[in-house]
Structure 1
Amino acid sequence: MSINTSLNDRISAFAKAGLQLHSYLEGTLETTTIHGTSWQDRMAQRLELAERKNSWFTKDTLEFSIRQWAEALTEENLTQWTQSYHLEHIKTKTVALITAGNLPLVGFHDVLSVIITGHHALIKNSSNDDVLTPLLLEIATSFCPELAASYSYADGKLENYDAVIATGSNNTARYFEHYFGNKPNIIRKNRNSVAVLTGNETLEQMEALSKDVFLYFGLGCRSVSHLKVPQGYNFDLFFNGMFLQKELIKNEKYLNNYDYNKAVYLMSEFDLLDNEFLLIKEENNSYSSPIASLGYSYYSSIEDVATEFDQNDDKLQCIVVQGEAATRIVKKLGEKTAPQIVAFGTTQTPRLQDYADGVDVIQFLLTLS
């Protein structure tokens, strides 16, 4: 298969798509039509469709995701991202992509990575998120029609591919490993994100942390689902910061999960802290937590926390921590590319070069040529 675009062509197309996203959010899209519909109306219709198909995709979360991609897809960002790789002489391969559907556009980074390198993306979208990626590709292709040769969609069984990038749960990963083990692959499993609190944080930091906890209703691997706190930690400031997100309880699905998990915890006689829209309980055996809840565990020293994270690096996506604690944890993790150390409020704003699980997708794609 031949890809009749240059790297500059592809960067330009996606950068223009980023400008279209920004213009849509600002309500300033030109009246240019496609299939008889203006881009402004077409994008609004597709976002409404995405919301109808997946009720976890609200107007706010959809617009947040679109805004993040509008900010990422600039010519400067795309050039900076790709310039450290040698992408001049790519022998095109077909890369099958099995995407997750827990967040809007959660699989788009893989799609972009495959296309930007000059490979062909064979995309099997999750039924929970099968509207937005085609929309972004449609926009980019409108600026570079030749880009259409760089991707296709698989509705049924995957066939005629050279490599695989698949994202799923620990259970589906076992299936992926069995089914795709004879092909070059990246197979992602469950990961969670944690926050390390010292008791010296400010209210502003706790309010920023509320975004790490609640954006996308906590459904992403970059969503903080566990807290590490010092012995005797007072949760008052933490809850004050979380109060910024109190409106989430008005979402019916979130409320149902809150009520259900609260009932389960109470019947199990767990000790709970509850602010009427978030439940937290002590949890020493897992970094994951149900929707509308967080686990927490106590630590005696930051060195103990750093050692724990070093030993469980394959379970963690992000660690939210700042100051001296961050310095010590970074030192312990050494050269590991995951988990990623991030500041309060930034888990859901990764850069193009911030790869899931710390696995450099572009470098993997280069090994195929």
Structure 2
Amino acid sequence: MTFDERLNAFIKLGEELRNISESQMDEWYFRATSFNNWFTRESVKQSVDAIGQMLEAEKLIKWTDHYPKQDDTHKVVGLVMAGNIPLVGFHDFLSVLISGHKVMAKISSQDPFLIQQVSNMLVEIAPAFDERITLTKEQIRGFDAVIATGSDNSARYFHQYFGKYPHIIRKNRTSVAVVTGNETEEEIKAIGQDMFQYYGLGCRNVSKVFFPEGYDFNPFIQTMESFDQLRDHHKWVNNYDYNKSIFLVNGDEHFDSGAFLLKESKQWVSPISVIFYEFYKNEEDLNTKLESNQALIQCVVGKDVRFIMPGEAQKPELWDYADGVDTMKFLTEL
């Protein structure tokens, strides 16, 4: 396949995903949630819609114009995919194929169905992709390079197993929000979306908020009442009840919205149903906290031009690379 053939296939895939029928979305949800109870119809639709928008022709062309365009190579790139949110490994899948390499992906047991369906759609559009895509639940072998995503613990294993190959290995990261006290109610709600979309399970979900000293939490928590539907999910409620009981038994001060818990902490990654917060004295103090912990942060949400605007954390562009590592540069230089 030429580069243009691959590009046009993904443009067509985007069109089909943007026009997927409600009945097909229902089927995808029912199949996907059987592997991962955290997946809801809304979260599956959000992921499919986000990928459909990601694959718009103008965006794909803008993205790929920054890299060499090559015909198919004989190199095989192994992927170890996560399954914390629907289709979370799609960007790596796209990057490997559009750069001309073959994909050999170990798909997550928590999300094996959706990536297979999207792959099937792509092969139907461009049958030449069939021999360039291998999806398996088994251990992968026979690759030339690897991109692996997992926890800090699994990353240590990845380094041992994949260290001798060209690789990108991603570990735990989380996202944070910066509140100034001048946000509108809609902007606070948008930060809530960044916290609670996908039940906070993604690395681009805000798990910690920085507030200015003296901040009044009451309006913030009242605004977050619009997310009370979190209590409709039994797994979320189980985590909420458990963490609340721990805080009460230990005498830990916290705010309780009735749907989530807000607790002051120096830690960065909060448990499910809990949002950590920390105060900052001034901009210099805030910058020090953020800069000294860059290795832990996926993205920062806030009104400052340096940050991602509230409500946009789960809408990365093609060039917003996980962990700040340019995946396409890595792939085109293999």
User: Which bracket does the TM-score occupy, shorter chain normalised?
Assistant: over 0.9
- In 2, Cα distance between equivalents of 1:223 and 1:139: 29
Q: 2:308 aligns with which of 334, 342, 357?
A: 342
1:1-369 matches, within 5 Å, as 5-25=1-21, 27=22, 41=24, 44-88=26-70, 91-284=73-266, 286-322=267-303, 326=304, 330=306, 341-368=307-334
Contact 2:109/2:137 (<8 A) preserved: no
Deviates more, 1:155-164 or 1:311-320: 155-164
Amino acid at match of 1:22: R
- In 1, Cα distance between equivalents of 2:74 and 2:332: 10
Q: What's the offset of the Cα at 1:89?
A: 5.3
Q: What's the offset of the Cα at 1:91?
A: 3.5
Contact 1:230/1:300 (<8 A) preserved: yes
- CA deviations 1:190-229 (Å, max 9, x no partner) are 0011111111111010011111010000001100000111
- In 2, Cα distance between equivalents of 1:8 and 1:75: 12
Unaligned runs of 5+ in 1: 28-39, 331-340
Which SS does the other structure have where 2:20 is aligned? helix
Per the normalisation by structure 2, the TM-score is: 0.97
Contact 1:209/1:241 (<8 A) preserved: no
Q: What's the offset of the Cα at 1:81?
A: 1.1
Contact 2:2/2:72 (<8 A) preserved: no
Amino acid at match of 1:8: D
CA RMSD of aligned residues (A): 1.3
Which SS does the other structure have where 1:291 is aligned? coil
Aligned length: 334
Contact 1:196/1:319 (<8 A) preserved: yes
Which SS does the other structure have where 2:10 is aligned? helix
Q: 4+ runs of 1 displaced by more than 6 Å?
A: none
- CA deviations 1:124-156 (Å, max 9, x no partner) are 011001111111111111111111122112332
Q: What's the offset of the Cα at 1:44?
A: 3.8
- In 1, Cα distance between equivalents of 2:330 and 2:49: 28
- In 2, Cα distance between equivalents of 1:80 and 1:103: 26
- In 1, Cα distance between equivalents of 2:260 and 2:26: 32
- In 1, Cα distance between equivalents of 2:162 and 2:93: 18
Amino acid at match of 2:10: F
- In 2, Cα distance between equivalents of 1:140 and 1:241: 42
Contact 1:203/1:240 (<8 A) preserved: no
Amino acid at match of 1:226: K
Q: What's the offset of the Cα at 1:72?
A: 1.1
- In 2, Cα distance between equivalents of 1:12 and 1:242: 42
